[in-house]
Structure 1
Amino acid sequence: MTTRRLDFDPDTVERDLAALVLTIVELLRQLVERQALRRVDVGDLSEDQEERIGMTLMLLEDRMELLRERFGLTPEELNLDLGPLGPLLPTD
């Protein structure tokens, strides 16, 4: 049995892992935002709930931007290409 060794560049591994985690968080953020908008449209939320959700989503978006900057990532780099299915994240 031959032992194979992988050489990882610590800087690349950290950035790639950050990109993966931020992609998942961005996907979840967009899903929560869409669900919140649906609930607002239906009138399911009180004004206080709408305000809290709006502020929370804005804060999360700001934090995502800071983390992308910290790891030198752009929003486009977080949008995985799923081949024939198209991009993971909506581009609107």
Structure 2
Amino acid sequence: MEQPMHPSGKINIGRDNAEQGLAQLVLTVIELLRQIIERHAMRRVEGGTLTDQQIEDLGVALMNLEEKMDELQTIFGLSKEDLNIDLGPLGNLL
């Protein structure tokens, strides 16, 4: 399966690989949100504002989300590096 990434780290959405490029973009946004949620959850755990059951539920939910992301990356032939798109002067996304 053709990779949608250019050597520059930008998404390549052309006529022949539009589905692949769109999948890359969507999974990149989901991965970014997953990492933000994970960081927020860790702050709440460290802050002591969650019960033991809430911590357990949160851990299971985050693991399930990570497994689903791995599954979707496999389906679309993408790696973690493919989700780290280049935002130009802002640097890499992830």
Counterparts of residues 37-76 of structure 1 (less than 5 Å): 37-76=42-81
2:35 to 19, 30, 36: 30
Structure 1 unaligned segments of length 5 or more: list them: 1-6
CA distance in structure 2 between the partners assigned to 1:8 and 1:79 by the alignment: 22
How big is the shift at 1:82? 1.6
CA distance in structure 1 between the partners assigned to 2:77 and 2:88 by the alignment: 25
Give the root-mean-square deviation of aligned CA atoms: 1.1
How big is the shift at 1:84? 2.5
1:88 to 66, 74, 93: 93
Instruction: Report which of the two structures shows the higher radius of gyration computed on alpha carbons.
Output: 1
Partner of 1:77: 82
Determine what percentage of the aligned residue pairs are the same residue. Answer: 54
State how many pairs are aligned: 81
CA distance in structure 2 between the partners assigned to 1:73 and 1:50 by the alignment: 31
How big is the shift at 1:79? 0.6
Kindly provide the amino acid, as one letter, of the partner of residue 27 in structure 1: L
User: Which of structure 1's runs of 4+ aligned residues deviate more than 4 A?
Assistant: none
Deviation per CA, 1:43-68: give whole Å up to 9, x if none: 01111111111000000000000100
Higher helix share: 1
Structure 2 unaligned segments of length 5 or more: list them: 1-13
Deviation per CA, 1:21-64: give whole Å up to 9, x if none: 00000000000000000000000111111111100000000000
